[in-house]
Chains A and B, each alone.
Chain A
Amino acid sequence: SQTIHQWPATLVQPVGSPLSLECTVEGTSNPNLYWYRQAAGRGLQLLFYSVGIGQISSEVPQNLSASRPQDRQFILSSKKLLLSDSGFYLCAWIDQNTGELFFGEGSRLTVL
């Protein structure tokens, strides 16, 4: 069966520091992968999605970036964090047959 893992689960970072969140999927090949952010009191916002290695589409202009170095690995990065980057970051893959999104357990980021 398919599983999705992301880490770290929680992190507190100072403004201006770099960020790297990692996500891996097991049990499927060539998945469509997504990064969402959920800020306090707001809905899930799609940040990036990827249909294959090296293929990244950005939905919202910002100081974040994403990379897909391997088929089942998706990384979210920032060179310099802002206070507004605080939130709950969720990686997901989609079952193309049903349209169901499966989320990782999330990474809760607090920027101070």
Chain B
Amino acid sequence: RKEVEQDPGPFNVPEGATVAFNCTYSNSASQSFFWYRQDCRKEPKLLMSVYSSGNEDGRFTAQLNRASQYISLLIRDSKLSDSATYLCVVNLSGGSNYKLTFGKGTLLTVNP
């Protein structure tokens, strides 16, 4: 299994659609999980952290399944401005020794 593996994409969806991204990770001891967003030719920026109990921020919902070692991101009511690459990020080393490993990203295009 690759260290952090995401849906390859790309995803093309109409405005208002619901879209889900999945990501698997290799180290069961991993403790920190994140979703980052990267606009074209820009630096990545944190979208949201992923907590064990799952968390929601407006139209975005993140979930963690430790047993299956995957995290997910759900975007509801997609907007044109949601078009970007979404990166799954995992601290594979566990604990406070932060060495974050990024997935290759999934490109989302929301169409009018």
Main secondary structure of the interface of B (DSSP, over half): strand
CA distance A101 to B33 in the complex (A): 12
Contact with A along B21-56 (1 / 0, CB 8 A): 000000000001010100001111110010000000
Q: Which residues of A contact B43 (CB under 8 A)?
A: 90, 103-106
The count of A-to-B residue pairs whose CB atoms sit within 8 angstroms is 49
User: Which of B42, B49, B102 interacts with A43 by CB under 8 Å?
Assistant: B102
Interfacial residues of chain A within 20-77, with CB under 8 A of chain B in the complex:
32, 34, 36, 42-44, 46, 49, 59
How many residues belonging to A are interface residues under a CB distance threshold of 8 Å? 22
A99 and B102 within 8 A (CB): no
Known contacts A43-B102, A43-B105, A46-B101; is A96 also within 8 Å of B42 by CB?
A: no
How many residues belonging to B are interface residues under a CB distance threshold of 8 Å? 23
- Min Cβ gap B62→A in Å is 14
CA distance A97 to B70 in the complex (A): 23
Known contacts A44-B87, A90-B43, A106-B42; is A101 also within 8 Å of B104 by CB?
A: no
Seen from chain B, the residues whose Cβ lies within 8 Å of a Cβ on chain A are 4, 32, 34, 36, 41-46, 49, 87, 89, 91, 96, 98-105
Can you identify 11 A-B contacts, CB atoms within 8 angstroms? Answer: A32-B98, A43-B87, A43-B102, A49-B99, A90-B44, A94-B98, A99-B32, A99-B91, A99-B98, A101-B36, A103-B43
